[in-house]
């Protein structure tokens, strides 16, 4: 499916500091000179590793990104849902320093050809990384605009080659009470799980993120590897992935298990379906203050053109 969006990136809005601006200018210069290679079709190890922290090199620019004003970096990295490190929005930033992101492995199983346990670096091709600016919706009527770095989930799925029985993809977060103090409490059923239909997973917008603002993901944002599904609520974009399971049946998801009346499997942004405890019809952008103007929530977070075909036979009020 070709994505035809009118929105374009304004480079002046996607920097948080001068060093990042310098990096971006170098990348642009490299592209114009033909130095930086185009995105390749297979996910393979590049053999020269991925940084544990700091900047990421060789990032191409996705021209269909949103041109909305970015949420400030400090809000992106200090307002997080990551219950493994606490239930407060600022708990992950305070507590996630205990997470060790190297070595990191990911188990692939289920209805797929390439089963096994892979090193993180074996599933990330540095030459395929791109920056995408997505609107990101929080369930409590807040939103962000974030410049993620990563690659389309479809590239990984194509490499793993699921069979025709794979109707869904399930993801699991690390479950380690020694590193994650929140796991010691039963605020949720651990490990954290999320899932997509295979059609949702291969949609061109579904994204595997390994960085943000041109840098390696901070621990509180889901290091070293997370999912980003921009037309759904943020809790669908599972963090610190250690297992991907391809299944025939609709898989369990953490929030649906915790409270199926409030959190359905699909979890699409839909202003016509109110959460039982608050309205979804309006939102505020994080970082603009409690008294900033509310704006109407857009169906599928504004990505109707790209994803509405996925739900043409579903009643979205029943399949929430």
Q: What is the mean pLDDT of residues 20-31?
A: 40
Q: Which domain holds residue 117?
A: 11-265
pLDDT-derived band at 142 (thresholds 50, 70, 90) equals very high
d(CA 127, CA 44): 10
Confirm whether 304 is domain-assigned: no
Task: Look at residue 228 in the predicted model and tell me its pLDDT.
Answer: 98
Task: Look at residue 188 in the predicted model and tell me its pLDDT.
Answer: 96
Confirm whether 74 is domain-assigned: yes
d(CA 151, CA 38): 12
pLDDT digits (tens, 9 = 90+) for 263-301: 999 999 999 998 888 899 999 999 887 778 899 999 999
Confirm whether 135 is domain-assigned: yes
Q: In this predicted model, which residue has the larger pLDDT, 47 or 63?
A: 63
Q: What is the DSSP letter of 218?
A: P
Task: Look at residue 128 in the predicted model and tell me its pLDDT.
Answer: 86
Backbone phi, psi, residue 122, to 5°? -75, -10
d(CA 42, CA 287): 38
Residue 318's alpha-carbon distances to 69, 86, 145, 261, 266, in angstroms, are 34, 31, 29, 11, 10
pLDDT digits (tens, 9 = 90+) for 151-183: 999 999 999 999 999 999 999 999 999 999 999
pLDDT digits (tens, 9 = 90+) for 60-102: 999 999 999 999 999 999 999 999 999 999 999 999 999 999 9
Confirm whether 255 is domain-assigned: yes
Residue 259: exposure state from Cβ atoms within 10 A (0-12, 13-18, ≥19)? exposed
Pick from 219, 212, 237: nearest CA to 94: 219
Task: Look at residue 144 in the predicted model and tell me its pLDDT.
Answer: 96
Check pLDDT > 50 for residue 213.
yes
pLDDT-derived band at 141 (thresholds 50, 70, 90) equals confident
Task: Look at residue 49 in the predicted model and tell me its pLDDT.
Answer: 74
pLDDT-derived band at 45 (thresholds 50, 70, 90) equals very low
Task: Look at residue 114 in the predicted model and tell me its pLDDT.
Answer: 97
Check pLDDT > 80 for residue 5.
no
Confirm whether 316 is domain-assigned: no
d(CA 201, CA 32): 32
d(CA 23, CA 167): 40
| Total structural domains within the chain | 1
Which CATH number do you get for residue 59?
3.90.420.10
Confirm whether 320 is domain-assigned: no
d(CA 286, CA 69): 11
Q: What is the mean pLDDT of residues 121-147?
A: 92
Question: Omega into 224 within 30° of 0, i.e. cis?
Answer: yes
Task: Look at residue 292 in the predicted model and tell me its pLDDT.
Answer: 81
In DSSP notation, 69-81 reads PPPPHHHHTTS--
Confirm whether 63 is domain-assigned: yes
Confirm whether 298 is domain-assigned: no
pLDDT-derived band at 247 (thresholds 50, 70, 90) equals very high
Give the three-state DSSP class for 43. Answer: coil
């Amino acid at each position: 499916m070709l994505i035809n969006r009118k929105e374009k990136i304004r480079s002046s809005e996607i920097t948080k500091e001068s060093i990042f601006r310098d990096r971006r200018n170098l990348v642009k210069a490299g592209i114009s000179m033909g130095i930086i290679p185009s995105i390749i079709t297979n996910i393979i190890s590049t053999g020269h590793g991925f940084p544990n922290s700091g900047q990421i090199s060789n990032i191409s620019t996705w021209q269909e990104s949103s041109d909305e004003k970015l949420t400030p970096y400090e809000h992106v990295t200090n307002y997080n849902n990551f219950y493994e490190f606490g239930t407060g929005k600022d708990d992950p930033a305070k507590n996630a320093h205990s997470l060790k992101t190297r070595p990191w492995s990911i188990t692939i199983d289920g209805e797929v050809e390439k089963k096994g346990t892979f090193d993180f670096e074996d599933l990330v091709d540095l030459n395929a990384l791109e920056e995408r600016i997505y609107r990101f919706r929080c369930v409590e009527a807040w939103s962000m605009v974030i410049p993620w770095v990563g690659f389309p989930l479809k590239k990984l799925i194509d490499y793993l080659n699921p069979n025709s029985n794979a109707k869904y993809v399930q993801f699991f977060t690390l479950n380690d009470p020694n590193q994650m103090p929140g796991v010691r409490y039963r605020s949720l059923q651990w490990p954290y799980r999320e899932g997509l239909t295979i059609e949702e997973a291969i949609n061109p917008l579904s994204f595997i993120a390994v960085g943000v603002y041109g840098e390696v993901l901070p621990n509180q944002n889901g290091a070293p590897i997370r999912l980003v599904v921009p037309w759904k609520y943020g809790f669908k974009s599972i963090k610190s992935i250690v297992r991907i399971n391809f299944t025939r049946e609709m898989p369990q998801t953490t929030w649906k298990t915790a409270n199926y009346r409030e959190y359905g499997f699909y979890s699409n942004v839909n202003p016509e379906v109110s959460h039982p405890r608050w309205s979804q019809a309006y939102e505020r952008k994080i970082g603009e203050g409690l008294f900033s103007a509310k704006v109407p929530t857009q169906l599928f977070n504004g990505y109707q053109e790209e994803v509405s075909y996925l739900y043409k036979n579903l009643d979205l009020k029943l399949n929430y």
